[in-house]
Amino acid sequence: MIKQIDLSDILLVGELYQMQKASYLIEARLIGFFEIPPLKETIQELIDCNETFIGYFEKGELAGALSYIAKERELTICRMFVHPTHFRKGIARKLLVYLEEMSFDITTFIVSTGKDNVPAKSLYLEFGFQFIRDHEVVSGFFISFFEKNKQHQDYS
């Protein structure tokens, strides 16, 4: 089941925070960069981030989450992560599908990830996102930016 996460639910936010740390630590190891903002974020910063979170729940347990900010007809996916014990179950894909299905008025989706995060980049490309550019955020570390125009998507 996928539903919006209430950031005033401190127990649920605690689960979200721990899952975020576990997931992004694996990404950090994968890309060789440990200064990923979600790894350094405090629980209060997570609560105050002004992002909307949706969570994927399996048997009542939070297994994955996605956050976004929508402005007018553009939606930016800020973070997406799955608990390591739930990797390779299609949860990230289900979250993306859900997000698109609930975003009727959105025409453009934007997302970014570490240039060396091959699993995430592959998912975005398979999901119809187009690579836009790489941007060096600190010396030797690049972020890849992707965009998807909803008017050109294929629902197959």
Question: Average pLDDT over the chain, rounded to whole?
Answer: 92
**Domains in the chain, please, with CATH?**
2-152 (3.40.630.30)
Q: What is the pLDDT of residues 78-106, one digit of tens each?
A: 999 999 999 989 999 999 999 999 988 99
Q: What is the rounded distance in angstroms from the CA atom of residue 66 to the CA atom of residue 54?
A: 5
Q: What is the rounded distance in angstroms from the CA atom of residue 21 to the CA atom of residue 153?
A: 32
* Structure token digits, residue 61: 């347990």
Reported pTM: 0.90
Average pLDDT on 23-32 reads 91
Give the residue ranges of DSSP H helices in the chain. Answer: 10-31, 37-40, 43-47, 91-102, 118-126
Q: What is the pLDDT of residues 57-67, one digit of tens each?
A: 999 999 999 99
Q: What is the pLDDT of residues 98-129, one digit of tens each?
A: 999 998 899 999 999 999 999 999 999 999 99
Number of continuous H segments (helices) and E segments (strands) in the chain: 5, 7
